[in-house]
Structure 1
Amino acid sequence: MSGISTRMVVHALVQEDGSVAGGELYEVAALIGMTDQQVRLCVKRLVTEGRFTVEGRGRGAVLRLAGPEPGAGLPLIPEGEFVRHAYRQDRGLEPWDGLWHAFAFAVPESARAARDSLRDALTGLGAAPVQGGLYVTPNEIGPYVRAHAAELDLPEALTCLSTRDLAVGGTCEPRALAERLWPLPEIAARYGELAALAEQPAPPGRPAGLAHAVALAAAFSAAMLPDPLLPPELLPQPWPGTTARAAASEAWARLAEAAPAPGPRLFRLYGEALA
């Protein structure tokens, strides 16, 4: 199973009480294609970083979260607000108002780190680069961008505007602009992989079922995190993202229902995100 790190497996198996059973960790990791050595090295790194403590050794060990939110920011579960917006789009509850939102900034080389952070925030929110320092999106992300610029002490460097009249290199038709500015075939391909995995029946047995759940979570994140969540009006129809998200929601419900108690907190977190 590609795209799954050992660190991701550890965090995926954290129980509600913050513990990870060593035996289960080694079993699930092996089913995903990882060696015992990979697991040992990962556990050692997580303990060194202060994210986990460990009692015992090897398969008899028990890992415990060392703080309230270790692993925060791990690409295992996309932001709940982001996921809910996607499903609202799928239900036709977020129609596009026809506005393009543009953001431009000019930050000197002396503030390069802040400039890079602002750029990463824009692309992380789904905005596409048009040319140096200019980004555009059909989604109203202005409040998030302005807040991030303020945190970086760059509010004066940011320019925001909205328009219905956007042309890039002679392209002005909205769907043609979307095809030009975002890698839609690549995004669709990731959703195709997610749909194929979601439609597979979960294998029997707790370790195999957990390995399948980890793979599903990884595929969901791999498809969702790079997705700019363009409005349906700008996407080819039928859009693979809509189909894949529906299949993932159904698959996750089946997995959660079949998971023996106590199950990893991953099931609760995904249940909340997909609610």
Structure 2
Amino acid sequence: MQPQDLMLMLFGTYALDRDVSLGAGGIIEALARAGVSTHATRSTLSRMVGRDLLHRRPAGRKMYFALTGRSAAILRDGRARIWHDGAVNDRWDGTWTLLSFSLPESMQRERHDLRSRLAWSGFGPVQGGLWIAPGRVDAAGIVSSLGLVAHGLVFHARADATTNISSLIGDTYDLAELSDRYHQFVARWETASPAGDPLGERLRLMAEWLDAIRRDPRLPVEHLPADWPAARAQKVFRSLEEAYRAPAQKVADGLLDVLPLSSSG
């Protein structure tokens, strides 16, 4: 895991929607428990400030850090993916979101940005400039946020009965790569013992699980291979997270220097 991923998990767990900032000393100690050196933590804090992911907030002789609006939005999205959406889509209603776009060669950067955003949002390429995602996805919002409204058309539709959905999914998405993410997670965590450092282990667990599911388009489970590993991986995650939660909170309460935003300078 990159230090920034662990940092975001720390703030997402102990600062998000709490109107607090976290002291630098406690942040350094918390990430040290997850295997991050002091130098790497300080460098990560500086980079995240520069990327508008954290605010510096001095208070007396101490330095505190708080989430920005940008990082809070990222973390709320991650929280929804972990706890609301989950890794298993067993309630698909048969609808697809389709985005057709055409960009000139002079807009290669914009094309790259659009494809990256689409992949993050669960889209896969059917052919050329036609991308699809299961369910109703705000493709119009993605296109609008990139200033590409004039270059895209958005549809919501259902496949005809003659369409082989399983084949369509297999051709559109890299199922082997998606499956491998879950297999790696299970191999790493299924035999893990809750006896280790609860805070460090929980930060690593959360970061690795979000990494496993962040690019999962949540394809309808009825059209995936029978041995699809997402359900098993999710069970491992939730069981361990529950085991770590209370002990990690106890450690964090004694370790993190928390300052209400209204008290910081």
TM-score (norm 2): 0.74
Cα shift readout 1:132-173 (whole Å, capped 9, x = no counterpart): 2111233322xx012333444544432334242499xxxx53
| 1:160 and 2:154 correspond | yes
Q: Amino acid of the residue matched to residue 169 of structure 2?
A: A
| 1:224 and 2:226 correspond | no
For residue 72 of structure 1, give the secondary structure of its aligned residue in structure 2: helix
Q: Provide the residue aligned with 2:194 in structure 1.
A: 202
- Structure 1 unmatched runs, 5+: 265-275
For residue 137 of structure 1, give the secondary structure of its aligned residue in structure 2: strand
CA contact (8 A) 1:103 1:134 kept: yes
CA contact (8 A) 1:19 1:62 kept: no
CA contact (8 A) 2:28 2:42 kept: no
Q: Indicate how the Cα distance of structure 1 residues 66 and 31 shifts in structure 2: closer, same or farther if over 3 A, else same.
A: closer
Cα shift readout 1:35-67 (whole Å, capped 9, x = no counterpart): 3322333344445666234569xxxx9542246
Q: Provide the residue aligned with 2:92 in structure 1.
A: 95
Q: 1:12 aligns with which of 5, 9, 13?
A: 9
For residue 195 of structure 2, give the secondary structure of its aligned residue in structure 1: coil
C-alpha distance in 1 between matches for 2:73 and 2:171 = 30
C-alpha displacement of 1:259: 2.5
Identity %: 22
Q: Amino acid of the residue matched to residue 229 of structure 1?
A: R
| 1:105 and 2:101 correspond | yes
For residue 136 of structure 1, give the secondary structure of its aligned residue in structure 2: strand
CA contact (8 A) 1:194 1:216 kept: no
C-alpha distance in 2 between matches for 1:159 and 1:43 = 40
C-alpha displacement of 1:7: 2.8
C-alpha displacement of 1:219: 1.0
Q: Provide the residue aligned with 1:271 in structure 2.
A: none
What's the C-alpha RMSD, in Å, of the aligned pairs? 3.4
| 1:236 and 2:225 correspond | yes
CA contact (8 A) 1:187 1:227 kept: yes
Q: 2:36 aligns with which of 24, 34, 37?
A: 34
CA contact (8 A) 1:107 1:115 kept: yes
C-alpha displacement of 1:262: 6.8
Q: Indicate how the Cα distance of structure 1 residues 9 and 100 shifts in structure 2: closer, same or farther if over 3 A, else same.
A: closer
Q: Indicate how the Cα distance of structure 1 residues 74 and 81 shifts in structure 2: closer, same or farther if over 3 A, else same.
A: closer
- Comparing both structures, which one devotes a greater share of its residues to strand? 2
Higher RCO, 1 or 2 (CA under 8 Å, sep at least 6)?
Answer: 2
C-alpha displacement of 1:240: 0.7
For residue 64 of structure 2, give the secondary structure of its aligned residue in structure 1: strand
Question: Would you identify which runs of 4 or more consecutive aligned residues in structure 1 move more than 6 Å?
Answer: none
Cα shift readout 1:17-52 (whole Å, capped 9, x = no counterpart): 321452x54444445443332233334444566623
TM-score (norm 1): 0.71
C-alpha displacement of 1:128: 0.9
For residue 263 of structure 1, give the secondary structure of its aligned residue in structure 2: helix
Q: Indicate how the Cα distance of structure 1 residues 83 and 112 shifts in structure 2: closer, same or farther if over 3 A, else same.
A: farther
Cα shift readout 1:72-119 (whole Å, capped 9, x = no counterpart): 355797151675233673xx4x1342x544321123355555544433
Report how many residues are paired.
Answer: 243
Q: Provide the residue aligned with 1:51 in structure 2.
A: 55
C-alpha distance in 2 between matches for 1:68 and 1:151 = 19
Task: Point out the more displaced range, 117-126 or 245-254.
Answer: 117-126
Q: Amino acid of the residue matched to residue 102 of structure 2?
A: A
Q: Indicate how the Cα distance of structure 1 residues 69 and 228 shifts in structure 2: closer, same or farther if over 3 A, else same.
A: same
- Structure 2 unmatched runs, 5+: 254-265
C-alpha distance in 2 between matches for 1:64 and 1:70 = 18
